C-alpha cells in the first residue's frame, strides 16, 4: 500500500497543472486510487461564484479558497456527489504523504523529544502525556476523554496550581489536529504543556496563568487520522477520521441540520464541553497561516466581532514581531472572519460559541500541513508568546460571583449584555461557585442577570477596559415559586444545611422537630423541589416525635443543578438549597 501511494505521488507531481483539464477520466482514475488507498482524495477546482462555493461546502470538505481557486477533500460518497456538478478538477498530492526524512521520536535510544524537532510515535505520545503528570503531579493530571474508532486515546493535559481541586477560576482549552494531516500544532501543544509545567516556578507570567486558570490542552484530537499510516509514523496521515469524516464538519449545525452521522471523536468533545464550561478556546489547523474568528456559517457578524478582531490582531501582530518575513500574513495580514474566507457548516468553533456559550477561534498555524520536523522549533519561537497571550484573555472583561441573597449559595445564572448580545453570545455562571466571565471589547455595558426562580437584576454603566478586569459580584433575590420560605421560626425547629454540598451522588439532610401536640408526635414532610418549584421527590411523610433526624438523599436519577429541600411540621415550613454536581 505504501509503495502504491509513493508511485501515485510521483506521477501526480509530474502531471502538468491545470484545473481546466479536459482529461477528466484520468483525473477520476487518480481520485479512485486515493479513495481506495486513503479513503479520501485532495483536489482543486475553480469556482467564480461564492454562492456556489457555499453550496459545495455542504457536499465536500473545502480546505482553502484562494481567489477563484478552491482546494478540497472528499471521501467516496462526497466525491461521488461532487462529480454530479460536472466541474473540472485536478487531483493533487495528498498533504499527508511526504518524501522527506520524517524524524520520529519513539522514546528509546539517544533521540530526545525535548529538542522538539521530531514527531512522536503514538506510543511515545501517550507515554509523554503520562510522564507530564508523573513529573508534575501537583500541577498536571491527564484526562482520557475517550477512545477513537480504532481504540486510540483522546488525551487532555489539565494544568492548574491545584490540579485535583475545583476552583473558582475560568477553564481554558487548546486542541490541535482534528484534521489528522495538520500536525504542526500537535508538537507545539506538547511543547506548550512542557513549557507551562517546567517554567511554573521560574517565570512569573507562567505562574500567573497556571494559578488563575484551569488550562486544558489536547495535542491530538484525531489520532486515527494522524497515525493512518501506523503508530510508528505520521507519514500517510489523513484529514478525516477512520470512518472517513471531517471532524470539523461534524458538529451540530448552527445554521441548519448537519446530515452527517455524529462521529465518536465528535461525541467525546461534546461530552467534555458539556462537563466543563470552557470560557475561551482555540483549535489549531494547517494549510494556511491566519487566525480565523467567528462566524464560519453566518455572514452576519458576531456580537463580539470587535473583540475578536482585537484578540486575533494581537495574536498575529505578536507573531509578526518575532517571525521570519512572510509568515502568518494570509488574508487580512494574518486574521480573517471565517465566513468572509469561506462558508463552513458543522465546525467546532461555531458549536462552542452557539451551543456552549464560550468563545473559540480556529488558528491556521502553518501553510504546510505536514511540516518537516526541523522547522518545528522555528514555528514555536514564532508563536509561543501569542499562545500565552491568548490564554490570558480568559481573565479579562467583567467577572464575579452570582449568589442567592438569602442563602449565599452560588447560582447558575444567565448574564446578558442588554442591547448587545445576539446569536447565543450571552454567558452563564457555573453552578459550583456562581462565577461568570464576560470577555468584551472596551466600553460601557448594561448587564442583566437572570435565573429561574429569582428576580432578575440589571446593572447599568459597567465599564470594561481592554486587557483588564472589572469585578462585579451580584446577589439575586428568590421568588416564591410554590416553595414557602419562613424566617420567623422557633429555635426547636431547625433544618441544617445538607452535607456535603455541593454533592454527588448522595447527601445527608439533618433536621430538628419540636413537640407541637399533646402526643409529642407531629406530621413531618421533607420534599425535594427543582429550581422551578416542581416536586422532584418526597423523602419523608410521617409522624415523628420531637428530636433530631438525618435522611440520606441519593440523587443518582437526577441531573446536575440547584434543588430546594423543604421541611414542614404542622404550620411550620423551612427551605434550604442544595447543589448537585455530576
> Mean of the per-residue pLDDT values for the chain?
91
CATH number for the domain that contains residue 453: 2.60.40.1120
Q: Are 128 and 271 in the same domain?
A: yes
What pLDDT does 100 receive?
87
Comparing 458 with 558, the larger pLDDT belongs to 458
What is the three-class DSSP state of 219? coil
- Pull the grid cell for residue 112: 530526545
- Do residues 273 and 352 lie in contact, with contact meaning Cβ atoms separated by under 8 Å? yes
Residue 402 maps to a domain:
yes
Q: Residue 137 pLDDT > 90, yes or no?
A: yes
Chain-centre distance for alpha carbon 344:
18
Q: Residue 530 pLDDT > 90, yes or no?
A: no
Q: Residue 490 pLDDT > 90, yes or no?
A: no
Residue 453 neighbours by CB distance under 10 Å: 21
Residue 486 maps to a domain:
no
Last residue of a domain, one of 361, 395, 429: 395
- Supply the pTM of this predicted model: 0.81
Q: Are 235 and 337 in the same domain?
A: yes
Q: Are 108 and 63 in the same domain?
A: no
The residue among 489, 478, 479, 454 whose CA lies nearest residue 573 is 489
Q: Are 82 and 228 in the same domain?
A: no
Q: Are 314 and 412 in the same domain?
A: no
Residue 484 maps to a domain:
no
Q: Are 75 and 141 in the same domain?
A: no
What is the three-class DSSP state of 468? coil
Distance CA 418, CA 537 (A): 37
- Pull the grid cell for residue 559: 441531573
Residue 159 neighbours by CB distance under 10 Å: 25
CATH number for the domain that contains residue 187: 3.40.630.10
- Do residues 117 and 104 lie in contact, with contact meaning Cβ atoms separated by under 8 Å? no
Q: Are 189 and 167 in the same domain?
A: yes
- What's the Cα-to-Cα distance from 500 to each of 184, 455, 538, 578, rounded to whole Å? 45, 27, 20, 9
- Where in the sequence is the domain holding 455, given as residue range(s)? 397-476
CATH number for the domain that contains residue 568: 2.60.40.1930
- What's the Cα-to-Cα distance from 3 to each of 6, 27, 36, rounded to whole Å? 5, 20, 14
Q: Are 287 and 407 in the same domain?
A: no
Chain-centre distance for alpha carbon 281:
6
What pLDDT does 533 receive?
73
Q: Are 68 and 159 in the same domain?
A: no
Backbone torsion region of residue 432, taken as left when φ is above 0, otherwise alpha when ψ lies between -120 and 50, otherwise beta? alpha
Distance CA 334, CA 342 (A): 15
The residue among 452, 471, 301, 455 whose CA lies nearest residue 401 is 471
Residue 113 maps to a domain:
yes
Q: Are 246 and 189 in the same domain?
A: yes
Total residues found in the chain within this entry: 582
Q: Are 504 and 456 in the same domain?
A: no
Q: Are 13 and 86 in the same domain?
A: yes
The residue among 363, 360, 361 whose CA lies nearest residue 328 is 363
Last residue of a domain, one of 67, 91, 115: 91
pLDDT band at 110 (very low <50, low <70, confident <90, very high): low
pLDDT in tens, 65-103: 999 999 999 999 999 999 999 999 999 999 999 998 899
Residue 332 maps to a domain:
yes
Residue 25 maps to a domain:
yes
What pLDDT does 545 receive?
86
pLDDT band at 244 (very low <50, low <70, confident <90, very high): very high
Residue 99 maps to a domain:
no
Q: Residue 223 pLDDT > 50, yes or no?
A: yes
- Strand partners for 80: none
Structural domain total, the chain: 4
Residue 154 CB burial class (10 angstroms; 0-12, 13-18, ≥19): buried
The residue among 229, 227, 247, 249 whose CA lies nearest residue 297 is 249
pLDDT in tens, 369-403: 999 999 999 999 999 999 999 999 999 999 999 99
Residue 126 maps to a domain:
yes
Last residue of a domain, one of 372, 395, 418: 395
What pLDDT does 426 receive?
97
CATH number for the domain that contains residue 71: 3.30.70
pLDDT in tens, 254-273: 998 888 999 999 999 999 99
Amino acid at each position: 500500500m505504501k509503495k502504491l501511494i509513493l508511485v501515485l505521488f510521483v506521477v501526480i507531481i509530474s502531471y502538468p497543472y491545470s484545473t481546466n483539464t479536459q482529461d477528466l477520466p484520468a483525473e477520476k482514475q487518480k481520485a479512485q486510487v486515493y479513495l481506495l488507498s486513503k479513503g479520501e482524495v485532495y483536489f482543486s477546482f475553480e469556482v467564480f461564484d461564492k454562492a456556489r462555493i457555499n453550496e459545495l461546502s455542504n457536499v465536500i470538505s473545502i480546505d482553502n479558497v484562494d481567489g477563484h481557486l478552491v482546494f478540497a477533500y472528499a471521501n467516496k460518497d462526497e466525491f461521488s456527489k461532487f462529480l454530479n456538478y460536472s466541474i473540472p478538477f485536478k487531483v493533487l498530492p495528498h498533504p499527508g504523504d511526504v518524501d522527506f526524512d520524517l524524524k520520529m521520536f519513539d522514546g528509546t535510544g539517544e533521540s530526545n523529544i525535548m529538542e522538539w524537532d521530531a514527531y512522536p510515535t503514538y506510543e511515545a505520545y501517550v507515554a509523554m502525556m503520562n510522564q507530564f503528570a508523573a513529573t508534575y503531579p501537583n500541577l498536571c493530571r491527564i484526562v482520557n476523554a475517550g477512545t477513537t474508532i480504532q481504540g486510540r486515546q483522546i488525551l487532555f493535559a489539565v494544568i492548574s496550581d491545584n490540579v485535583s481541586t475545583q476552583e473558582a477560576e475560568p477553564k481554558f482549552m487548546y486542541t490541535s489536529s482534528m484534521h489528522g494531516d495538520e500536525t504542526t500544532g500537535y508538537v507545539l501543544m506538547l511543547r506548550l504543556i512542557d513549557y507551562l509545567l517546567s517554567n511554573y516556578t521560574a517565570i512569573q507570567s507562567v505562574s500567573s496563568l497556571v494559578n488563575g486558570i484551569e488550562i486544558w490542552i489536547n495535542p491530538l484530537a484525531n489520532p486515527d487520522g494522524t497515525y493512518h499510516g501506523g503508530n510508528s509514523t505520521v507519514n500517510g496521515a489523513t484529514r478525516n477520521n477512520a470512518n472517513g469524516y471531517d471532524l470539523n464538519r461534524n458538529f451540530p449545525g448552527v445554521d441548519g441540520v448537519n446530515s452527517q452521522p455524529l462521529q465518536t471523536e465528535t461525541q467525546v468533545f461534546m461530552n467534555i464541553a458539556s462537563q466543563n464550561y470552557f470560557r475561551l478556546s482555540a483549535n489549531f489547523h494547517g494549510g494556511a497561516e491566519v487566525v480565523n474568528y467567528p462566524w464560519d456559517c453566518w455572514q452576519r457578524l458576531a456580537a463580539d466581532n470587535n473583540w475578536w478582531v482585537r484578540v486575533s490582531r494581537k495574536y498575529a501582530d505578536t507573531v509578526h514581531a518575532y517571525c521570519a518575513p512572510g509568515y502568518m500574513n494570509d488574508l487580512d495580514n494574518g486574521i480573517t472572519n471565517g465566513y468572509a474566507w469561506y462558508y463552513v457548516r458543522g465546525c467546532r468553533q461555531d458549536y462552542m460559541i452557539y451551543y456552549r456559550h464560550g468563545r473559540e477561534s480556529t488558528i491556521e498555524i502553518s501553510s504546510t500541513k505536514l511540516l518537516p520536523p526541523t522547522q518545528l522549533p522555528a514555528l514555536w519561537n514564532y508563536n509561543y508568546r501569542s499562545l500565552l497571550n491568548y490564554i490570558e484573555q480568559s481573565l479579562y472583561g467583567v467577572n464575579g460571583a452570582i449568589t442567592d441573597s438569602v442563602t449565599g449559595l452560588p447560582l447558575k445564572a444567565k448574564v446578558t449584555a442588554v442591547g448587545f448580545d445576539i446569536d447565543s453570545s450571552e454567558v452563564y455562571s457555573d453552578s459550583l461557585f456562581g462565577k461568570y466571565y464576560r470577555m468584551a471589547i472596551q466600553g460601557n455595558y448594561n448587564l442583566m442577570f437572570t435565573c429561574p426562580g429569582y428576580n432578575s437584576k440589571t446593572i447599568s454603566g459597567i465599564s470594561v477596559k481592554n486587557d483588564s478586569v472589572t469585578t462585579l459580584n451580584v446577589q439575586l433575590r428568590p421568588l416564591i415559586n410554590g416553595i414557602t420560605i419562613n424566617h420567623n421560626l422557633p429555635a426547636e425547629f431547625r433544618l441544617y444545611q445538607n452535607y456535603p454540598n455541593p454533592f454527588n451522588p448522595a447527601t445527608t439532610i439533618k433536621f430538628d422537630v419540636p413537640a407541637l401536640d399533646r402526643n409529642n408526635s407531629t406530621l413531618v414532610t421533607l420534599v425535594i423541589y427543582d429550581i422551578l418549584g416542581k416536586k422532584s421527590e418526597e423523602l419523608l411523610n410521617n409522624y415523628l416525635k420531637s428530636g433530631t433526624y438525618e435522611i440520606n438523599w441519593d440523587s443518582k436519577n437526577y441531573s446536575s443543578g440547584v434543588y430546594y429541600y423543604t421541611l414542614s411540621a404542622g404550620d411550620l415550613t423551612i427551605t434550604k438549597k442544595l447543589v448537585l454536581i455530576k
